[in-house]
Amino acid sequence: MRNLNDFIIFAHVVDHRGFAPAARVLNVPKSTLSKRVAELEKMLGVRLINRTSRRFTVTEIGEDFYRHTAAMLIEAEAAEAVVKGRLAEPSGTVRITASVPTAQMTLSGLLPQLALAYPKMRVVLHATDRFVDLIQEGFDIAVRDHFAPLPDSGLVQRRVASEVIWLVAAPGYLARRGTPAEPADVDDHDGLLTSLVSDGWTLRNADDATISLKPQPRFVADESRVLLEAALSGLGITALPRKLCHAEIDNGSLVRVLPDWQAGLVTTTLLMPHRRGQLPSVRAVVDFIADRLADG
C-alpha cells in the first residue's frame, strides 16, 4: 500500500537539494528521510536519487516523478487552505429542525440574523411537531424548548437558555372573579391547562418555597399560543413562558397573577449528532444561537 507521506518527503528532499537541508527544514532526522526515500524506491522498483558522500543528483525518472509529487504537495496545501478558509468563514448548508412554537417564538427572529451574518451559509429550517430522528433524516441541529429534562438520546446536548413561566390572566377576568392574594386562592379560579389530567401548577418563590395549585379546568389546549388567546379572552388563569406574554403584560392586556411566584422554567436545548456537531458551519450556528439567547 502506498505511503503518500514518502511521496511528500521525496518532494521536499528534491526541493531542498539534499537530505541534510530538508532534514533541517522539516525538523526530522536525516537518517529518517533517507530511509523513507529508500523505501519509496524499493516500492517503485526504480532509483530516484543518486547519492554519494559528495554529490546529490536526481535521476531522469526521478525528475519525472518529482513533477507529480510536487503537484501533489501543492494540492495538499490547497486542500488545507480550503479547510482553513471554511473555518474562517463558515459555509455550506445547515439543516435545523424545531417544533412549530419554538420556530415561531425562539427562531423566527434569530435565523434571518444568522443568514445575514454568514452570507456563504444556507440555513434550512424544518418546523414540525412530529418526532424527528436527526441522524436518519439528516438534520444538523434540533432546537427544543422543554419543561422537563430531555432523555438521554446519545445526541450532544447544549443548554442555551432558560425562561421563567408566569401565571397570567386578563384584567377583565380578575375584575369579575377577584385577584388571588396568595397561592391557595388560585384553587377557586378557572384554569387554562395543557391537559385534563394536569395537576395544575407548582409555584416557587425567591426563598425557594414551593406550593402546588389545582385550579378548576376551564379550558384545555396543548399549544401555548392557544392558551395565550384564551387568557386574553378572559377565560381564566394560565401559565405561560415570559417571552410569549411579556408584550401583553407591557401593554396591559394581561396581568401577572402572584408576581412573587413563578410556575417553573422552560429550557432551550440544542441537540446535535456527534459527527455533525464537529463541522465548522454547525458550530458557528450553535454558537450564534447560544450567544443571542443568552443575551436575551
pLDDT, tens digit (0-9, with 9 covering 90-100), for 150-188:
887 778 899 998 999 999 999 999 999 999 999 999 999
Query: Does 3 score more than 90 pLDDT?
Result: no
Taking alpha carbons only, the member of 191, 245, 255 closest to residue 220 is 191
| 99 phi and psi angles, rounded to 5 deg | -65, 165
Q: 296 pLDDT band (50/70/90 cuts)? A: low
Taking alpha carbons only, the member of 67, 50, 68, 46 closest to residue 58 is 50
Q: Are 213 and 186 in contact (CB under 8 A)?
A: yes
Q: 288 pLDDT band (50/70/90 cuts)? A: very high
| 282 phi and psi angles, rounded to 5 deg | -70, -45
Diameter of the chain measured on Cα atoms: 106
Nearest 5 degrees, angle CA 262-CA 268-CA 269? 140
Q: Are 153 and 271 in contact (CB under 8 A)?
A: yes
Q: In the chain, what are the domains? A: 4-88 (1.10.10.10), 92-296 (3.40.190.290)
| Contacts for 122 with CB less than 8 Å, ≥ 6 apart | 92, 93, 94
Q: How far apart are CA 152 and CA 22, in angstroms?
A: 52
Judged by DSSP in three states, 21 sits in helix
Q: 88 pLDDT band (50/70/90 cuts)? A: low
Q: Are 177 and 190 in contact (CB under 8 A)?
A: yes
Query: Does 85 score more than 80 pLDDT?
Result: no
Q: How far apart are CA 285 and CA 292, in angstroms?
A: 11
Return the half-sphere exposure (C-beta side, CA atoms, 13 A cut-off) of residue 1: 1
First to last CA, the chain: 56
% of the chain exceeding 90 in pLDDT: 47
What is the pLDDT, as a whole number, of residue 280? Answer: 79
Three-state SS letters, 220-234: ECCCHHHHHHHHHCC
Query: Does 214 score more than 80 pLDDT?
Result: yes
Q: 256 pLDDT band (50/70/90 cuts)? A: very high
Q: Is the pTM of this model over 0.85?
A: no
What is the pLDDT, as a whole number, of residue 295? Answer: 64
